[in-house]
């Protein structure tokens, strides 16, 4: 995947919130829906986009579908991005 596609995929607010919620854990769709506080169809749409980009994987566990981030480095990347944005926001112009 090229860098532009990757960044477009992870920078949309709902998808970024889903990724931050997943962290390095596996969560079922019902947990994600509850956390994101959006309709299941909206969350499923965003999960499908993340899956198509190769950023998350899912597996069936009985009737539940569990999602996880495919590369644990992404969690650190999102954390550092948030920290960097905050530090830039706090910078004063000279």
Work out whether strand 56-61 and strand 27-28 pair parallel, antiparallel, or are unpaired.
unpaired
In angstroms, rounded to a whole number, what is the distance separating the alpha carbons of residues 88 and 84? 6
Report the pLDDT value the prediction gives residue 89, as an integer from 0 to 100: 76
Is residue 46 within 8 A of residue 15, CB to CB? The reply is: yes
Q: How many CA atoms lie within 13 A of 64 on its CB side?
A: 11
Q: pLDDT digit of tens for each residue in the chain (94 aa)?
A: 889 999 999 999 999 999 999 999 999 999 999 999 999 999 999 999 999 999 999 999 999 999 999 999 999 999 998 888 888 877 655 5
Domains of the chain: 3-82 (1.10.10.10)
H/E element holding 8? Answer: helix 3-11
Q: Any idea which residue has 């969350």 for tokens?
A: 43
Report the pLDDT value the prediction gives residue 92, as an integer from 0 to 100: 59
What's the pTM? 0.87
- The residues, any chain, with a CB within 8 Å of residue 65's CB and separated by 6 or more, are 28, 29, 58, 59
How crowded is residue 28: how many other Cβ atoms within 10 Å of its Cβ?
15
């Amino acid at each position: 995947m090229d860098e532009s596609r990757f960044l477009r995929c992870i920078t949309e607010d709902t998808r970024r919130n889903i990724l931050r919620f997943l962290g390095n854990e596996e969560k079922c769709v019902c947990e994600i829906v509850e956390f994101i506080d959006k309709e299941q169809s909206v969350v499923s749409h965003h999960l499908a986009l993340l899956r198509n980009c190769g950023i998350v994987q899912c597996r069936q566990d009985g009737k539940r579908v569990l999602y996880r981030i495919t590369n644990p480095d992404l969690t650190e990347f999102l954390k550092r991005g948030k920290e960097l944005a905050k530090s830039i926001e706090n910078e004063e112009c000279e």
